[in-house]
């Protein structure tokens, strides 16, 4: 696995701006360093917690439906959904510029594909966590390192399937970010 250079994450973080520029309230400012530190030093969620608590919090109907899948499919489907939801949360973070969201989606996709180190992805996503107004989406982004670790522990065939699906999803999300921003820019001029 080749890792993206740490300088790539630093460049994106610089383009996002300082924490004081992107964070709107004192609560987010005080939580950012605590979360970022916790995320880098330890894993926060176990696979069962991701499969139940986190999944249920971001999609109750999907969580209830997944029980009816054959046991062998539940785990890879749950993980694919969590990763897709995390990429969607990044794509929908309106307080971050379109270009930064697109570049972050690219790096997150590279992390899912095994082409970027988990640490680079986690450092990059840290800027998005305090900007989430939905606590469940905050927890989802906080659990992203555990989702990526879970992906690496998946059987090869399941990991490959998840990566193929997520590559298509993130490509669509990058395209959506670009097109919607272009349409908005065109209408406002």
pLDDT tens digits, 153-173: 999 999 999 999 999 999 999
In a domain, 1, yes or no: no
In a domain, 30, yes or no: yes
What the block records as the tokens of 93 is: 């973070």
* C-alpha–C-alpha distance, residues 97 and 168, integer Å: 22
In 3D, which of 90, 102, 80, 105 has the Cα closest to residue 137? Answer: 90
In a domain, 57, yes or no: yes
What is the span of the domain harbouring residue 79?
6-188
Question: Which phi and psi (to 5°) does residue 117 adopt?
Answer: -70, 150
In a domain, 21, yes or no: yes
pLDDT tens digits, 113-143: 999 988 889 888 999 999 999 999 999 999 9
Q: Report in angstroms the alpha-carbon separations of 151 from 75, 146, 181, 185.
A: 10, 8, 32, 38
In a domain, 33, yes or no: yes
Number of independent structural domains in the chain = 1
Q: Does residue 100 or residue 59 have the better pLDDT?
A: 100
């Amino acid at each position: 696995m080749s890792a993206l250079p740490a300088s790539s994450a630093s460049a994106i973080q610089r383009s996002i701006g300082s924490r004081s520029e992107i964070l709107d309230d004192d609560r987010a400012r005080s939580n950012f360093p605590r979360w970022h530190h916790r995320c880098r030093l330890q894993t926060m969620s176990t696979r069962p917690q991701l499969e139940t608590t986190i999944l249920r919090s971001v999609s109750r109907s999907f969580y209830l439906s997944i029980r009816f899948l054959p046991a062998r499919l539940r785990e890879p489907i749950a993980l694919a959904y969590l990763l897709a939801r995390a990429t969607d949360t990044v794509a929908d973070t309106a307080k971050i510029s379109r270009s930064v969201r697109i570049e972050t989606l690219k790096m997150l996709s590279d992390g899912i594909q095994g082409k970027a180190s988990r640490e680079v992805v986690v450092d990059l996503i840290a800027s998005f966590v305090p900007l989430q107004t939905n606590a469940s989406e905050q927890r989802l982004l906080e659990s992203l390192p555990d989702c990526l670790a879970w992906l690496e522990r998946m059987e090869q065939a399941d990991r490959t399937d998840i990566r193929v699906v997520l590559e298509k999803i993130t490509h669509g999300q990058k395209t959506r970010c670009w097109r919607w921003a272009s349409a908005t820019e065109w209408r406002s001029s």
